[in-house]
Amino acid sequence: MIYPSIDQLLTQIGSKYLLVNIVSKRVKEMKNKKYYQMNEKDYKSTKEIGKSLEEISKGLIRINQE
């Protein structure tokens, strides 16, 4: 089972395409600046993509959908 689920993520972000765009930008931030919004041991995933998806599911990354 994938954590977090796509259904849970789409309640936070309205579109799959927008989700991919946000995750890719966040992964680049994580790799370049080594900046994380949670403690390393609080993440379930070991890779940056999974970590950024976890941040979105917990509401730590938000966007304005105007």
37 vs 25 pLDDT, higher one: 25
* Local confidence band at 65 (pLDDT 50, 70, 90 cut-offs): low
- Distance between CA atoms of 52 and 30, rounded to whole angstroms? 9
12 vs 62 pLDDT, higher one: 12
- Nearest Cα neighbor of 55 from 42, 33, 66 is 42
Q: Quote the percentage of the chain above a pLDDT of 70.
A: 94
Q: Quote the percentage of the chain above a pLDDT of 90.
A: 35
